Amino acid sequence: MNTAGHSEATTRRGLELTPFRGLRYDPDRVGSLAAVTSPPYDVVVRPDGLHHLQSADPHNIVRLILPQAGTPSAGNEQAADALRRWLDEGVLTTDPEPGLYVYEQSDGDGMLQRGIIGALRVTDPGEGIVLPHEDVMAPVVADRAALMRATAANLEPLLLTYRGDGSASDVVEHTAARPPLLATTTEDGFQHRLWSLTDPAEVALVQSDLAQRQALIADGHHRWATYLRLRAEHPSPSPWDYGLVLLVDTVRYPLRVRAIHRLLHGLPVADALASLDGLFRVRRLEVPLPEAQAALADAAHAGNAFLLAGDGAFHLIDRPDPDLLARTIPADRPAAWRALDATVLHAALLDHVWGIPEDSSAHVAYIHDTAATVEKAEQKGGTAVLLHPVREEVVRELARQGVTMPRKSTSFGPKPASGLVLRALDL
């Protein structure tokens, strides 16, 4: 069935998605399917979130994706041993035939996301098929590669988006009208449903449609870089030529794009504001968080804007000095990149005004939750920098130009739950 990519009339092949025999939890061998799932490895909040997941069920997937041991190598071996043991004990079972998987997430409040999980042929960025939009950190790639080598498995899917509105999405919607293979509701209120897609005609429709598409990495840059590294280590053809992904057509199912905020350790709000004199307009807002975010959204329509917090109030900073931007923002990048809030934050504010190295966890923390960022700043005497989210089309267009965004510029979601379907590379 690996015919995708060869039916395209252009010289550039597209996405090549292939069925695989999924590994799934036997619901009779675990407390509940919800209790063995986890957010992606890089979203788990340590240590409280990790301990909560570990205690939810002794077979929670977090024991594989974030093994805890004295050393990384010991943790990886621990994960590999657990995976083998769960297979031997029947906690995890292998589906009888290869298939693609239709996956649905909904929150009961109007949000509905559907996509296709499969094994995607790994391609280099230069081929223009899978587009990254963020740089990666080498230690994280090395960590994920060591875990995948030890377990010989893709333990959780990446989240990729594409613009389709074609036959693949038609198949997804038709499949979702059938009884699901599994259904569960996680404690965050999200409902998850999964279907197996094994009919050759339907699989062929999906593959021929995707052969015309390119995808944007929405979440999982480090894991995609890991797939590239591991593919290079194994002579082709091999199972390592493919990696587990969830593909979502954002024409049919737009993702939510949220900002990732910064917590600046050791920089009190008063000091941060004092440094901005003459460089930004600063307005103090004595309003609740939702109203402050609305003010940020209004200001962001006109140009770069941020909210600073941590002293019991919000401070809206906008209208940066053009001379500051001219001397701090690299001039050799596209205009859309130079205008990004994250670019201005890192190049002008962090590097130049505040003198804070962005690559040090001792100085900067990246937090998805807005209220949590403010709360931590107030608790620790630091400064929360709240950003307005960038639009998906801006991210995609920069990625098409081969331009990576500043680190942690976006958070696409909802992200797929880990633990619903795994891929073993030795099956």
Please name the helix (run of DSSP H) or strand (run of DSSP E) that holds residue 296, with its range, or none: helix 289-300
pLDDT of residue 256: 86
Please name the helix (run of DSSP H) or strand (run of DSSP E) that holds residue 243, with its range, or none: strand 242-249
pLDDT of residue 146: 97
Q: Per-residue pLDDT tens for 81-136?
A: 999 999 999 999 999 999 999 999 999 788 999 999 999 999 998 899 999 988 88
DSSP secondary structure string for all residues of 324-342: HHHHHS-TTS-HHHHT-HH
CA atoms within 13 A on the CB side of 402: 5
DSSP secondary structure string for all residues of 363-388: TEEEES-HHHHHHHHHHHT-EEEE-P
How many whole angstroms separate alpha carbon 287 and alpha carbon 295? 10
Helices vs. strands in the chain: H and E counts, helices first:
14, 21
How many whole angstroms separate alpha carbon 237 and alpha carbon 231? 9
Q: Per-residue pLDDT tens for 368-394?
A: 889 999 999 999 999 999 999 988 888
pTM of the model: 0.85
Token readout for 392 is 């998906």
Classify the phi-psi angles of 306: left when phi > 0, otherwise alpha if psi is within -120 to 50, otherwise beta.
Answer: beta
* 3-state secondary structure at position 307: strand
Nearest Cα residue to 288 out of 268, 307, 262: 307
CB 188 within 8 A of CB 413: no
pLDDT of residue 181: 96
Q: Per-residue pLDDT tens for 14-61?
A: 999 999 999 999 999 998 999 999 988 887 655 577 888 888 889 999
What are phi and psi for residue 234, nearest 5 degrees?
-120, 125
Nearest Cα residue to 407 out of 222, 159, 214, 246: 222
On the question of pLDDT at 70 being above 90, the answer is no
**Buried/exposed code over 111-134 (b: 16+ C-beta within 10 A; e: otherwise):** eebbbbbbbbbbbebeeebbbbbb
Q: Per-residue pLDDT tens for 71-95?
A: 989 999 999 999 999 999 999 999 9
pLDDT of residue 1: 37
How many whole angstroms separate alpha carbon 58 and alpha carbon 244? 24
Q: How confident is the model at residue 425 (pLDDT cuts 50, 70, 90)?
A: very high
